[in-house]
Amino acid sequence: MKFLSTFVTFENLHEVRRLCHWGPIIALSVIAICSTMAILDSIIWYWPLDTTGGSINFIMLINWTVLILYNYFNAMFVGPGYIPLGWKPENQHDTQYLQYCRVCQGYKAPRSHHCRKCNRCVMKMDHHCPWINNCCGHFNHAYFTSFLLLAPLGCSHAAIIFIMTMYTQLYERISFGWSTVKIDMSAVRQFQPLMPFSVPAFAATLFALGLALGTTIAVGMLFFIQIKVILRNKTSIESWIEEKAKDRIQHYQTGEEFIFPYDLGSRWLNFKQVFTWSGTPKEDGILWPVHPKCHQHTLTIEQLKQKADKRVRSQVQYQVVEDYNGACCPLTKGLQTFFRTPCTEEPRIPLCKGDIILATRGTKWWMYGDKVLSEEEMQDGDRVRGWFPRRCVEKCHYDTAANHSTSDKKVN
């Protein structure tokens, strides 16, 4: 009902604008093409409605389409849930265990992360999905995963229809060379197709078959990844945090034992944290049930330790030696830079000669980092970070990272 009221009354027009993006346009186009072609192929050439099997097949195709679109639009418009702007914990003492978001002007609740695309702190954020043009998080995780399950099932059904349509219509026109395979085609010849199976019909069916098979494989793989995440009650971001926690403990030989706090020890209990009969998760997105040996801020404390460790170990200072306009695939920075551009929606940052960059990661041809800002820009709460070509910067021969870290501590 929440989805229907939002969609029908258009209370939030900015949510409806999510449809105006390449992700939803492509996703909905694939759904429309596969569904339409499967229904047309069934009715016109393969399995007419005047038979019991044809009627059941038609109902199943409509059912797949409705369920897929229902879960898709719910995943998009219900959304993941956002931390209120300016949020603070009830106990002010707990603020020392939380990260502060300068964009949202509030603290990040446990399991929440700031999404640069949505420009909000998202509850239990897993990732930002371009196909729904929204984040996958607390409130829409079940809808998103259901969509990932239903889409391959519906496309598999459609693919069978496409294959059988082409086979039955081309059976007497093309010699398949299957001398040992005998398929009874008498049932197919019992009805006359509404129209001949022309070359355009064959091309459209073949194209739809390619889309259906590709969707089944690609989305099916995403479904198994999400199920693995759900059964461990661990988002993709939290899996990365856990890996970095083990790396930090091993690097410094601290002897700590990191226990992931949200794994309840049972796959069924973890599963029920996402899927409920009502479709709405039980938790409020702020407080979570945790492992007996952990508390609400076990993971946030680990994140703060990793953030401090990142400043010490990861950040290397670079000076910009070539201007860069922020293009995704710059033609003037070399062929390798052009063809090896990072396949991500993370932003590119324009550079001017003389700028200082604190790089945190990179590839052979690209780097990712934060631009060192002036005091006025820092007071405005701005933060400029993203990808840039490696050839545009040179590593500084003087070490001012320590001074920069010291000034950060003074500001904090």
Residues with active-site annotation: 129
Q: What sign results for the dihedral spanned by CA atoms 18, 19, 25, 28?
A: positive
Structure tokens that stand for 22 in this block: 């390449």
Of 315, 282, 323, the C-alpha closest to 400 is 315
Helical pair 298-313 and 401-411, crossing angle rounded to 10 deg: 140
- Cα 358 to chain centroid distance, Å, stands at 27
Task: Give kind and range of the element (H or E) at residue 25.
Answer: helix 22-40
Give CA–CA dist 233/218, Å, rounded. Answer: 23
Give CA–CA dist 275/187, Å, rounded. Answer: 43
Count of residues in the chain? 412
**Residue 274, class by beta-carbon neighbours within 10 Å (0-12 exposed, 13-18 middle, 19+ buried)?**
buried
Of 105, 79, 69, 65, the C-alpha closest to 18 is 79
Tokens 């693995």 correspond to 228
Q: What sign results for the dihedral spanned by CA atoms 142, 147, 152, 156?
A: positive
Structure tokens that stand for 91 in this block: 């106990």
Give CA–CA dist 45/162, Å, rounded. Answer: 10
- Residue partners of 300: CB distance under 8 A and separation at least 6: 97, 98, 99, 108, 110
Structure tokens that stand for 248 in this block: 């930090």
Q: Is 326 left (phi over 0), alpha (psi -120 to 50) or beta?
A: left
Name beta bridge partners: 128: 135
